[in-house]
Amino acid sequence: MSTTGATDPLAALGSLPGVPESVESVRKAVDRVYGHRIMRRRSNEITSEAALRGARGSAALSGADWALEEVRRRTDFSSDDEARTVGAALRLTAEAGQLLSIWRQSPLRVLARLHLVAAAASDPRVGRPRQDGEPVEEPLVELALPGATEVSGRLEGLSRLIVADGPAPALVTAAVVHGELLALRPFGSHNGLVARAAQRIVLVGSGLDPKAICSAEVGHAELGRAAYVAALDGYVSGTPQGMAAWIAHCGRAVELGVRESTAVCEALQRGAA
């Protein structure tokens, strides 16, 4: 993502062909679920369930595709790599809601914190951008790895755009944050989990999804790893068509997250009837 040229490149992305339609479709879907009658009485339950399902979806994209009931039942997340991935996703989902005010002032500080929470290890590389020559473990993304200098420059550019808080739609900002972190893979591990947690922070902090009930992670997992990677390729290409396709993909993921929470609302309503 270029951060030079246009005064607000994120706002410019919002006018790409097909993007305004995606933004409007997402807004309408979110408004519908927030208007559900069960949300007036049991929104905390919807939020908790969306967090669990979102964590499960994010972990699935990072190679730990567990059944929801297994995630719900488990108490030990240290037994193997898949369990540790699920545990990291759960911790990140819980942590994301605590970082909203810091994100608006210091996004890079939040990203460092997210990586610390995900990695949960006493390694000097944890919580800081990688240096040249340091390996990156990211099972899903196999794109060419940018060098440390490029990573640093692009992270600074992304931070400036977030702090500036321009008029770009929340969906566009969330998609760019998500895509940029996946493209850069700034940390030695857990970049996908961190990128999806950052997307959650943007959607909640923007006011689009203030109660965190529209888990895009659920939708990304439902759309599948192959579609996720293909859409990311479009983002990395930097072409208008590729960028628009990535934003639309992220929008569809949010809508599927809305559908999931709507189904939860309906189930709770039936139980209360």
Identify the band that residue 273 occupies on the pLDDT scale cut at 50, 70 and 90. very low
Identify the band that residue 70 occupies on the pLDDT scale cut at 50, 70 and 90. very high
Identify the band that residue 4 occupies on the pLDDT scale cut at 50, 70 and 90. very low
pLDDT tens track for 158-201: 999 999 989 999 999 999 999 999 999 999 999 999 999 999 99
Question: In this structure, which amino acid lies at residue 255?
Answer: E
Taking the C-alpha atoms of residue 151 and residue 129, their distance in angstroms, rounded to an integer, is 8
The arithmetic mean of pLDDT across residues 71-98, rounded, is: 94
Query: For residue 68, what are its two tokens?
Result: 């929801």
pLDDT for res 116: 96
pLDDT tens track for 114-154: 999 999 887 888 999 999 999 898 878 889 999 999 999 99
pTM given for the model: 0.94
The arithmetic mean of pLDDT across residues 94-122, rounded, is: 94
The arithmetic mean of pLDDT across residues 208-225, rounded, is: 97
pLDDT for res 1: 55
- pLDDT surpasses 90 at 8: no
Question: In this structure, which amino acid lies at residue 106?
Answer: S
| CB 156 within 8 Å of CB 141 | no
